[in-house]
Amino acid sequence: MSDTITDVTPSALPPTEEELVAWRALSREEQIARYREALEAPDTQRLSSATMADIREAARQRLATRHG
């Protein structure tokens, strides 16, 4: 049995090879729909005092943790 990703979504972090393959397998319309869904999610509507540099640093830290 294969560990195929079926629910790939846009992310601020670089994708894994599996995620990249799954994303490329989606039609352009499905990719756009998933971007829209991600951008319209309630979590993306919150105001924040974080700067882009803060956000990038947090993403880098999560990536480092994710990839050991």
Taking the chain (68 residues) in runs of 10, the rounded mean pLDDT of each run is 66 86 94 87 75 87 84
- The domain ranges of the chain are 17-66
58: Cα within 13 Å, side-chain hemisphere: 7
Q: What is the pLDDT of residue 45?
A: 67
- For position 1, what pLDDT does the model report? 39
DSSP secondary structure letters along 6-58? SS----SSPPPHHHHHHHHHS-HHHHHHHHHHHHHSGGGG------HHHHHHH
